[in-house]
Amino acid sequence: MPASTKVSKAGWYALTLVSLTQAMSLLDRQILSILATNIREDLHIGDAELGLLYGTVFALFYALFSLPLGRLADGWLRGKLLAICITIWSFSAGLAAFASGFTLLALSRLGVGIGEAAAQPAGYSLIFDEFPKAKRGIATAAMAIAVALGLGLSMMLGGVAADWWDTTYANGNAPLGFAGWQFAFIVASLPGFLLAIMLYRMKEPRRGAIEGIETAKDAHPFKSSAALLGSVTPGLNWISLWKRNAGRKQWITNLAGLAVIILFTLGMISWAQGFSPRPALDIGGFPLNPHVLQWVVVGFGLFVVLNLFQSFKLSDPPTAAVILSPSLMLLVGAGSLQYAINYGVMGFTPSFLMRSYGLSAGETGLQFGLLSAVLGIMGPVIAGPLTDIVNKRLAGPGRVGLALFSLGVSPLIAIWVYHAPTAGSFYLRFTLYSLILTMWMPPLYSMMYDLVLPRMRGITSSIYIMVSTLFGLGIGPYAVGMISDANGGDLASAILSVNLVAPLIVVMLVIVMIRVNRDEASILDRARAAGEPV
C-alpha cells in the first residue's frame, strides 16, 4: 500500500474520540425529541414552542459561536478545544433537569448550543489532518455513523430512563421532585465529562502536513477568534467595519442588507401569527410571542451571515476567494435545506409515533431509537466506501451523483412512510427510507472540505454550521410544529411538508455536478491571486 494511503494508530485513535464527540453531541441535542410529549404536558406548551426549544433557541447560539470557535480550531489545539466545549455542553444539558418552565429549558439549550459549536469545526479539521484524501470517505462515514448512534441512543436512553423513573416513583416521593424527563437529562449529560478528559490528553497532529501544505503556527488564535466574533455580532460589526476602514460600498451593503432583513423578519412574524396564532411565552416574567422570538432569531442569523462574508473580504481575502466558489456555496445551500428536512422529521417523529400508534416514550425510544441507530450505521457504512470508489472512477461528479440519488429519492419514499396504518408497517417502510436518506453525508462532506485549503477547513465547517443551523435546525422543527398546531396536531402532514424544498436541493446538486471539478482545480490559483503565500 502506498504511504499516502496509510492511517497511523494515532489517526484511528483520534477518529474514535472525535466520533464519540459527534455521538455525544447528538445525544445531548436530540434527547429533547423523545421527551417532548412529557415536557409538553408538564410545562403546558405547544408544538411550535417545542420547535423553538429543539431548533431555534439552540440554533442561534450554536450557529453564532461556531464562527469564532471554528476560527479557533484553525489556529489552536483542537483536542483541548473539544474537551473544554464538551464540558460546557454536558453541564448545560444537565441543567435542563432543574427546569420548571420554558425559560430555564431555553437557557439549557442555549448552553448546549454554545458548547457543541466546536464539535464539527474542530473535529473535521483534526480528522482531515490524520487521514489522507483516499481514506476520507471512510473517515466521514465513521463520523456519520457516530451521529446515527448518538441519535438512536438519545431516543433509547431518554425514553427508557424517563419511563423507568416515572414507573419507579409512580406514587410520588421522587428525589428532588424530578419527573422522568428531568432524570433523563441528568443521565444523558454524564458521559461527556469522561470523554472530555480523554480529548484533553490527545496528541495534536501537524496541520496540513499530510497534504504537503503544512501551516505555520498561529501566534494569536484567541485574538483572531475574538475579532471574528466581534466582526459578525450585530452592533459590534460596525465597530469592526470602522476599524478596518471599510469603504462606502461596504457600509451601504451592510445597512441596506440590514433593512431588507428587518422587513423580511416583520413580514414573517405577521404571516406566522396569522397562519398559526400562539399565546405569549413567559420569558423571565416578560410575555413574548413565540413567532417574534423565532423570526428575530432568524433575522439575527441572516445579519450575522452578511457580516461574516463582509469580514472575510476585508480581513482574509484568500479565504473569501476560496470559500465563495459556486460549488461550495451550492453544497452549503443543499446541505442546509436537507437539514431542514432531517431535523423537522426527526424532531417530531417520536411524537408522531406516540400520538398515531399509542406507543409510550419507552416503547418509542427502544423501537425507533434502535432502528434509527442501526439504519444510521448501515447507510454510511455503504456510502463511505462507495464515496471513495465513485470518486476514484469519476472524480467530483461521482460523489455528487451519490448525494443526488439519496436526496432526490428519499422525499418520495417519505410520503409512503408517514401514511403507514400501523407502527409495524411504519418501521418497515422507514427502513428503506432511512437507508437511502443516510447516504448523503459522506459524499457531500468530503466534497466540501476538498474545495478549500487545509487552513480553511475549520472556518468552512463553521460557515456550513451557521447556514445549515439557521435554515435547517432553526426553521425545520419550528415549521413542522407551527403547521401541526395550525392543523390540530396533524404531525404526519406537518412532517411531510418540509420535503417541499427537495426539488431545489436537486437543482443545486445538478449544478454542482457540472462545475465541481473546475472549482476544485482552481483553488490554489484563486488563493494565490488573493494573496495566499502558497
Q: What is the DSSP string of 82-108?
A: HHHHHHHHHHHHHHGGG-SSHHHHHHH
Rounded Cα distance, 272 and 150, in Å: 33
Q: Would you say residue 1 has pLDDT above 70?
A: no
Q: What is the pLDDT of residues 269-302, one digit of tens each?
A: 998 888 877 777 666 667 777 788 788 888 888 8
Torsions phi, psi for 288 (to 5 deg):
-145, 125
User: Following DSSP, what letter does each residue of 495-529 receive, concatenated?
Assistant: HHHGGGGHHHHHHHHHHHHHHHHHHHHTHHHHHHH
pLDDT surpasses 80 at 52: no
- Give the type of residue at 144: A
pLDDT surpasses 50 at 3: no
User: Residue 421 in contact with residue 351, Cβ under 8 Å?
Assistant: no
Round to whole Å and give the CA distance between 347 and 173.
Answer: 32
C-alpha to C-alpha distance for 14 and 82, rounded to whole angstroms:
12
Hey, what domains does the chain have and what are their CATH numbers? Answer: 3-203+316-529 (1.20.1250.20), 227-312 (no CATH)
Instruction: Report the candidate in 437, 450, 415 with the shortest Cα–Cα distance to residue 140.
Output: 450
Residue 415's Cβ-side half-sphere holds a number of Cα atoms within 13 Å equal to 6
Q: What is the three-class DSSP state of 349?
A: helix
Alpha carbons 258 and 440: distance in angstroms, whole number: 34
CB 318 within 8 A of CB 454: no
Please check whether residue 161 is in contact with residue 180, taking contact to mean a CB–CB distance below 8 angstroms. Answer: yes
* Nearest-angstrom CA–CA distance, 456 and 459: 6
Mean pLDDT within 229-237: 85
Stretch among 145-149, 197-201, 376-380, 465-469 having the lowest mean pLDDT? 376-380
Task: Indicate yes or no: pTM above 0.85.
Answer: no
* The pLDDT value given to residue 211: 67
Are 21 and 199 a contacting pair, CB within 8 Å?
yes
How high does pLDDT run on average in the chain? Answer: 83
How far apart, in whole angstroms, are the C-alpha atoms of residue 61 and residue 44? 25
Residue 129: pLDDT over 90? no
**β-pair partners for 287:** 282
pLDDT tens, position by position, 174-213: 777 788 888 888 888 888 899 999 988 888 877 766 666 6
Top mean pLDDT of 136-145, 186-195, 256-265, 379-388 is at 256-265
Classified as helix, coil or strand, 281 is: strand
The whole-number pLDDT of residue 332 equals 92
What is the mean predicted confidence (pLDDT) over 441-445? Answer: 83
Residue 118 CA, chain-centre distance (Å), reads 11
pLDDT band at residue 426 using 50, 70 and 90 as cut-offs? very high
What pLDDT score does 283 carry?
A: 62
User: Where are the extended beta strands (E) located within 316-356?
Assistant: none
What pLDDT band is residue 447 in, cutting at 50, 70 and 90? confident
Q: How far apart are CA 397 and CA 404, in angstroms?
A: 10
Question: Do 148 and 93 touch, CB atoms closer than 8 A?
Answer: no
Over 70: is that where the pLDDT of 214 sits? no
Q: What span, in angstroms and rounded, lies between the C-alpha atoms of 344 and 54?
A: 10
Residues in the chain: 534
* Burial zone of 249 (CB within 10 Å; 0-12 exposed, 13-18 middle, 19+ buried): exposed
All three cell numbers of 178, joined, read 424530578
Q: Is the confidence at residue 100, as pLDDT, over 50?
A: yes
Report CA-CA distances (Å) from 266 to 254, 259, 269, 407: 19, 11, 5, 32
pLDDT in tens, 313-347: 887 888 888 888 899 999 999 998 998 898 888 77
Closest C-alpha to 338, from 444, 459, 264:
444
